[in-house]
């Protein structure tokens, strides 16, 4: 059993998928988000979407960093995580404007004071103000903030995003086909719309990252940050303090900042692609939960995806793997490992997409292709050898 499973977490969410398998899959079952008929406007040319996501256990890392350093501004990143994990999922069905957002914050008042709530709530609005500069308008409709200390040990920061969109402007992944190439957009570095270096971590796999990388002292000092019934052998088993200095791509930072890098949004890039290259976008995949295996769920039929020109994993993933002793197969299932957005397109249009990404100082390249097959399958190739899923 993997360390991830021993901590009560599933990278593939098998039980969730089993529990929802009988539900209506929406108008376009292969689309990255569930799409419904236009109940709000009753127009066959439009659709409705409501999507929910959040910052996950990354909020626990923010709690630790705040308690150790006193830097309450770190919570702004958690606000961004909760927004972007929703927004970038919706980008993958072609939606980028006139969105509604409602936040859901559950806290344990004994550990999370009002000042933290204020930073998160105001930080959410700051994210919307920032995105508006790129023509991405998200309307903040408030939400629910609840004191549920019997349920939540520290804080959970989530949200729901809603949109009404023209059906003809959707990306449904139904056009993904053998012969397509896959353009990957890097998750790390510093886009020209980001304030600082981004480690590429996103908001997935943070339970594993936190326990595998950080020292046992955090378990002793902050028992409220983990499930008390976990075996001690899987709780904070790493060798790092949050403030240990690390150099990443010539940027001097620390482990805490690498783990807490706010989730990068690809919204400015994808908005440009949707406006200028819509017909070239056969499919869009957000490599979130499930990492590099995420694409398999959204293929419109039996076909083989081969990724044999992957990005070199950013240093944060090297550190996590060194500390956890995880196999490459596990790492690529849990983490994005270097690119968090995939664009399926024709070989002839790939350079146009790469060029647009680089206008925003985001590295991009063809990382793989789609082939004919009798089954849905994924093959990763690299210096680690070959991995089949």
Backbone angles phi, psi at 198, to 5 degrees: -115, 125
Task: Give dist(CA 115, CA 107) in Å, integer.
Answer: 12
Task: Give dist(CA 119, CA 56) in Å, integer.
Answer: 17
Residue 1's pLDDT is 55
Helix 206-213, helix 58-69: angle, nearest 10: 40
List strand residue ranges (DSSP E) for 238-331, in order: 245-248, 251-254, 283-286, 303-307
Q: Find tokens 């968090």 and name the residue.
A: 340
Task: Give dist(CA 234, CA 230) in Å, integer.
Answer: 7
Residue 104's pLDDT is 98
Residue 218's pLDDT is 98
pLDDT by residue, tens only, the chain of 389 residues: 566 567 666 555 567 657 777 778 899 999 999 999 999 999 999 999 999 999 999 999 999 999 999 999 999 999 999 999 999 999 999 999 999 999 999 999 999 999 999 999 999 999 999 999 999 999 999 999 999 999 999 999 999 999 999 999 999 999 999 999 999 999 999 999 999 999 999 999 999 999 999 999 999 999 999 999 999 999 999 999 999 999 999 999 999 999 999 999 999 999 999 999 999 999 999 999 999 999 999 999 999 999 999 999 999 999 999 999 999 999 999 999 999 999 999 999 999 999 999 999 999 999 999 999 999 999 999 999 999 99
Task: Report the CATH number of the 3-196+260-388 domain.
Answer: 3.30.1330.10
Contacts of residue 39, Cβ cutoff 8 Å, sequence gap at least 6: 48
Query: Using an 8 Å Cβ cutoff, are 143 and 157 in contact?
Result: no
Task: Give dist(CA 16, CA 108) in Å, integer.
Answer: 26
pTM listed for this prediction: 0.94
Number of Cβ within 10 Å of residue 325's Cβ equals 9
Residue 7's pLDDT is 65
Kindly list the domain boundaries of the chain, sorted by start residue: 3-196+260-388
């Amino acid at each position: 059993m993997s360390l991830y499973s021993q901590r009560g977490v599933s990278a593939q969410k098998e039980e969730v998928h089993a529990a929802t398998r009988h539900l209506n899959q929406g108008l376009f079952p292969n689309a990255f988000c569930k799409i419904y008929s236009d109940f709000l406007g009753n127009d066959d040319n439009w659709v409705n979407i409501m999507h929910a996501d959040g910052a996950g256990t990354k909020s626990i890392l923010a709690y630790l960093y705040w308690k150790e350093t006193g830097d309450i501004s770190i919570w702004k990143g958690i606000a961004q995580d909760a927004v972007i994990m929703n927004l970038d999922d919706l980008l993958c069905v072609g939606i980028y404007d006139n969105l509604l957002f409602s936040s859901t914050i559950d806290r344990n008042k004994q550990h999370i004071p009002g000042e933290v709530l204020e930073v998160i709530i105001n930080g959410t609005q700051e994210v919307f103000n920032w995105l508006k500069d790129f023509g991405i308008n998200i309307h903040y409709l408030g939400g629910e903030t609840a004191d549920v200390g019997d349920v939540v040990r520290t804080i959970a920061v989530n949200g729901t995003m809603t949109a009404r969109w023209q059906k003809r402007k959707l990306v449904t992944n139904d056009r993904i086909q053998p012969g397509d190439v896959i353009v990957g957009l890097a998750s790390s570095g510093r886009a020209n719309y980001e304030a600082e270096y981004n480690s590429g971590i996103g908001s997935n796999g943070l339970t594993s990252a936190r326990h595998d990388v950080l020292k046992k002292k955090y378990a002793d000092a902050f028992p409220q940050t983990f499930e008390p019934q976990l075996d001690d052998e899987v709780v904070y088993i790493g060798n790092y303090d949050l403030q240990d200095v690390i150099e990443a791509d010539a940027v001097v930072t620390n482990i805490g900042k690498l783990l807490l890098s706010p989730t990068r949004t690809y919204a400015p890039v994808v908005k440009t692609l949707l406006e200028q290259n819509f017909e070239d976008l056969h499919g869009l995949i957000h490599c979130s939960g499930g990492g590099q295996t995420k694409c398999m769920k959204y293929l419109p039929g039996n076909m083989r995806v081969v990724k044999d020109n992957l990005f070199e994993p950013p240093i944060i993933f090297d550190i996590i793997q060194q500390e956890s002793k995880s196999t490459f197969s596990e790492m690529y299932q849990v983490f994005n490992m270097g690119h968090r957005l995939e664009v399926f397109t024709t070989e002839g249009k790939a350079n146009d997409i790469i060029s647009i990404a680089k206008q925003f100082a985001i590295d991009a390249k063809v990382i793989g292709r789609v082939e004919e097959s009798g089954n849905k399958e994924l093959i990763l190739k690299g210096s680690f050898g070959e991995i089949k899923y």
